[in-house]
Chains A and B, each alone.
Chain A
Amino acid sequence: MTERAEMLARIARRLGQPAPRDQVAWDPRASLPERPPSIPAAELVRRFVAQLGRLGGKAIRVAADAEAVDYVLSVVAPDVVAAGRGIPPSPPAGGEAQGAAAPGPVLLWDDPLLTRLELAAALASRGVEVSVWRPDLGPAALKELAARARAGVTGAWWGVAETGSIALPAGPGRGRLVSLLPRTHIAVLPESRLVPSVAELFRHLVEEPDLPSSLALATGPSRSADIENDLSIGVHGPADVHVVIVPG
């Protein structure tokens, strides 16, 4: 095997240096726009909703926490909502693409934002099977849960209006698989975390003292065009993506 010192010395030699260099001057500020733009929050919301919609995802701005709960419920258990309104259940439309018709629990991040919404309790009280990503359940059980879940519900660190992206950090209560294995992914995003552009997202990221072990910037549903250029959704990641923008 090649040793680190050997590889570095070889590269230095190729570059005409007697030895690897310890110090290099570099100013990364020129890689970002000079100053942040100022765009009103309502406009950011409008752009985010439009962008995600264009990609086949759905974003919605709600005025109160209770509305967020209703929206999540309408996605993960439309039959329950319909029954509540006195609408008789309709037979599920064919195909496994019907996320809501699929069995399995709704898997939630253990996250202060979702706790604030009391989402787990609200879903459970309506008869929806709910599980929370608690690391003490053990990796194997959690992986199995995520593979079986009908939907994953997460928070989001940032949202990007330019692209309709959300930034999903990993952490003890924030399993990576929650936004990855279930066919439906719902992210809850506080309005104050919306930034105008990818550039502004990075302006925030460079300020972070420590990046999480995994940070996924997810932009709409999983897509592929590998079969005769025909767009297909959800080949690996979620096919059905929702972002609920809540006050705060």
Chain B
Amino acid sequence: MAGGTFRARARKALENPRLRRAVRVTMNNFMSARRAAMAELAQLAREGLALGDFAAMRERARAIKQHTLDHLDHYLARAATAIGERGGHVHFAAGAHEVGEIVREIARRRGVTLAVKSKSMATEEVHLNRALQADGIEVVETDLGEYIIQLAGETPSHIVGPAIHKTREEIAQLFGRVVGRELSTDTPTLTGVARQVLREKFVRAGMGISGANFVVAETGTLCIVTNEGNGRLVTSAPPVHVAVVGIEKLVPTLADLYVFLGLLARSSTGQKISVYTHMITGPRRPGEADGPEELHVIFLDAGRSDILGTEYQEVLHCIRCGACLNHCPVYRQTGGHAYGAVYSGPVGTVLTPLLGEFRDWKDLPAEACSLCAACWEACPVGIPLHDLILKHRQKTAREGLDQSGLGGPLRLGAAAWTKPWAYRLSVRVGRLALRWFAREEEGGRRWAVKAPGPLRAWTEGRDLPAPPEKSFRELWAEHLRERGQRA
């Protein structure tokens, strides 16, 4: 697990104004582009050019995912058979260790010394790079954002924009170290350098490693979506292609794939479709002169099957579009690193405690969510993320894992509020206490930022406006008295 608590990591992020600005600007760009794309989708639907508007597409996507997961045993077998029939090799991995073993074995057999990778959350999750580097294999991330953070030795801060937290000065320095000269910081120079350096890697690499956004069970087709084209290069240029794919990535047929392609780019960056949608059905065929001679598909479990058949199953619908991050009021303030795990934002808050040790990650659902449900509204596959976060909190309470110190006062409050007189008394006491500890802020408003005793745990994570002098009930009683009526 990551070091420290969400609270500590979030505090660190909040003290970095540049990071917060970068995250906000990126998120706003994504969000406004998404809105425009959704309006355009509705127009297409009216012309009969799309299955439906966002609501209709999402309903269909949800139905497809639910059906596929409910019958995952069938579809996984079908996909494996189809891939095998096309000449691909299929492997199954229960966890990180097995993925590492499988890929290392292939690399050893083929004498691979350099592997190029396109962006893949699954390989990130199982720390595949480390496993290969242990064998002395050079592993190069080729997505521009991933390449930047690989050089910096950091982790992604956003599913779609992994390096949104880096400035061009920092990037120029990182690239400058690679080519051994000082670089100017303009975008064309920096991209030009990356193109040149990575081009040489693509041509030399003995192995290409990718994930897959979707796998079509019926045809055994892997679908990989990128904007830069590195996904196509990684899977076309080297003689061996290894795809590491979570078992939840399946869709039944090609027609079903259409629904997800219609939603993914629009939700993610607001594009109608990503620049490259690559569909791979087996390795190079007889007579072809490029494309991989060997194709390996590794289906990864790593905790996913434990989620099947539980009340959390819907989180496996996720297509990693990032929309829930962009819309989350917590993520928008802290960025991805505060979550301390591979998956951040609302989907990370749900998924991380499920894939790892619940106990280690229970502070994510407890603290990184305001239950506003903006994530659910944005999610193209309709995952009720806020509901699942609430389920995590219930689990924390049920299993006695809550250490916030709020349990006692809340139970006391709950008991008091069962009697009208006790309710009135508790509100009055609470109000007076909060007023007492509120302090003046600029603008003349008073805020209760830190209260002692039982109120402490509550006010620590929240700043409350100081309560007014009189409560509504008191004002109402006065009002009635003035009009000569009895309360």
Contacts and interface: CB of A to CB of B under 8 A. Distances in A.
A225 to B, nearest CB: 7
A238 B171 CA distance: 23
A20 B142 contact: no
Interface in B62-103: 64, 67, 70-77, 80, 86, 90-94, 98, 101-102
A41 interface: no
Interface stretch (B221-229, B345-353, B362-370, B473-481): B221-229
Given A15-B70, A213-B288, A235 B49 contact: no
A82 interface: no
Interface string B14-28: 000000001001100
Task: Give the bracket for the number of chain B residues in contact with chain A.
Answer: 35 or more
A227 B49 contact: no
A162 B255 contact: no
A21 B229 contact: no
Contacts of B257: 202
Given A163-B272, A224-B191, A11 B230 contact: no
Contacts of A3: 92
B67 A216 contact: no
Interface in A1-48: 1-4, 6-12, 14-17, 20-24, 26, 28-37
A228 B168 contact: yes
Contact of A232 (B162, B187, B247, B283): B187
Contact of A197 (B50, B64, B67): B50
Interface in B367-395: none
B262 interface: yes
A1 B191 contact: no
B467 interface: no
A224 B287 CA distance: 34
B11 interface: no
Interface string B270-301: 00111111111111110111110000000101
Given A4-B90, A20-B77, A24-B74, A31 B277 contact: no
B198 interface: yes
B223 to A, nearest CB: 10
B148 A226 contact: yes
Contacts of A20: 73-74, 77
Contacts, number: 281
Nearest to B219: A211
Nearest to A22: B74
A162 B49 contact: yes
A6 B192 CA distance: 48
A224 B227 CA distance: 6
Nearest to B254: A206
Nearest to A29: B255
Interface stretch (B125-133, B303-311, B428-436, B447-455): B303-311
B256 interface: yes
Interface in B176-193: 187-188, 190-192
Given A180-B229, A226-B163, A235 B44 contact: no
Nearest to A20: B73
Given A36-B48, A175-B289, A213-B282, 18 more contacts: A1-B91, A1-B93, A1-B102, A4-B90, A4-B92, A14-B308, A15-B72, A24-B71, A33-B48, A35-B48, A147-B203, A165-B277, A198-B50, A199-B51, A219-B274, A226-B145, A227-B163, A236-B198
Interface of B: 22, 25-26, 29, 44, 47-51, 60, 64, 67, 70-77, 80, 86, 90-94, 98, 101-102, 142-145, 148, 161-164, 167-168, 171, 187-188, 190-192, 194-195, 198-199, 203, 219, 221, 227-230, 232-233, 235-237, 247, 252-259, 261-262, 269, 272-285, 287-291, 299, 301, 305-306, 308-309
7 contacts: A7-B247, A28-B256, A147-B203, A165-B273, A175-B289, A224-B228, A226-B163
